Amino acid sequence: MISIRPACADDAVALNRIYNQPSVRRFTCALPFTSLARTQAVLADETATHARLVACGADGQVLGEASLRREANPRRAYAATLGIMVDETAQRQGIGSALLAALLDLADHWLNLHKIELTVFANNEAAIALYKRFGFVTEAVLRHEAMQEGVLRDALAMGRLRQGLPRDASLAPPRPPQAPRAPFSLRAPHADDLPGLAALCSLPGICFGTTGRPFMTPQDVAHLAAPESRAHAILALSGEVVAGLAVLTPGRGRHLHAGTVESLLVHDAYQGQGIGRALLSAVLELADCWLGLSRVALAVLADQDHAIRLYESFGFEVEGRFAADIFRGGAYADSLAMARLR
């Protein structure tokens, strides 16, 4: 008999034991020797997940865990990322199915989530078969996504989408009068740049073509200039105007070889002046020559043809298509997963 209940602080020892099992670690992104303190911190972080469940056997022993992490970006609040693991001594006993059914019931009938996303190693055939039985489909093949036993392995990005979501077909906002072409410079952001950064991120054209939202405040972008930030931000300045921004975030743990271009923005009035190309070139030089990254990934809205051509000119390739990846114009728009490997 399998019972499902919420995880609690007292489960830390049992979950830590499962995290450190070799066969479990192989197909997650956990590192060897995960400390009990680290597991306790994960359970204590109530803001990190919207739901965390455990499966217990007849004797009450914890045999598996599953979680949903709702997206922090308000324009993706309808989506959540799923994670699941099962004790190596209790696999193929229906525990994964029970956990997945419970989480999807929460997602569909209580949390009003429209999309559930996950990433799974491409060689984890049993898990992939389980996800397919519950309606997940492969959206992208992420090349060299994570280290697994000394080898960079591919992973599948899978998604389960609520049917009938409206698809966005709105037109881009009209471009404002263009600023005269002028020299621009690149540098790291300072605290004094935050008002200009917030104004850049709030522009209509940028909100339409990215995951940004209108009416950003300096506090919303303060992390880009914070000394403790892991993100590497680069500004483009045309005179006193913040005319562009690029952000590269390196991976952690078994993703140390990889980085993500979180943002590549060019001011609505400064298009066609080479700013985007200069920012992307600077980001890739940072990745190649200073951080030693062998994979740089990004997502771009599928209708942003100019941006896609720019990325392709730098060696990025399409790895798949994320359905309903962003809320825009009162409906949902797709994105392309792209990456550049060295």
The reply to whether 76 and 154 lie within a common domain is yes
The reply to whether 242 and 309 lie within a common domain is yes
Q: What average pLDDT score do residues 212-233 get?
A: 93
Using the 3D structure, point to which of 126, 161, 196 is the last residue of a domain: 161
Cβ-based burial of 213 (10 A; exposed 0-12, middle 13-18, buried ≥19):
middle
The reply to whether 157 and 197 lie within a common domain is no
Using the 3D structure, point to which of 161, 195, 212 is the last residue of a domain: 161
Q: Beta strands 151-161 and 137-148: pairing type?
A: antiparallel
Q: Which pLDDT value is given to residue 50? A: 80
The reply to whether 105 and 194 lie within a common domain is no
CB 278 within 8 Å of CB 236: yes
The domain spanning residue 324 has which CATH number?
Answer: 3.40.630.30
The reply to whether 277 and 151 lie within a common domain is no
Q: Which pLDDT value is given to residue 227? A: 87
Q: What is the amino acid identity at position 254?
A: R
The reply to whether 20 and 155 lie within a common domain is yes
Q: Domain for residue 94, yes or no?
A: yes
Tokens 């892991």 label which residue? 230
Instruction: Give per-residue burial for 137-167: e unless 16+ CB within 10 Å, then b.
Output: eebbebbbbbbbeeebbebbbbbbbeeeeee
Average pLDDT, the chain: 96
Q: Domain for residue 166, yes or no?
A: no
Q: What is the pLDDT of residues 54-104, one digit of tens each?
A: 999 999 999 999 999 999 999 999 999 999 999 999 999 999 999 999 999
Q: Domain for residue 207, yes or no?
A: yes
The reply to whether 49 and 197 lie within a common domain is no
Q: What average pLDDT score do residues 116-139 get?
A: 98
The domain of 10 spans: 3-161
The reply to whether 335 and 206 lie within a common domain is yes
Domain count, the chain: 2
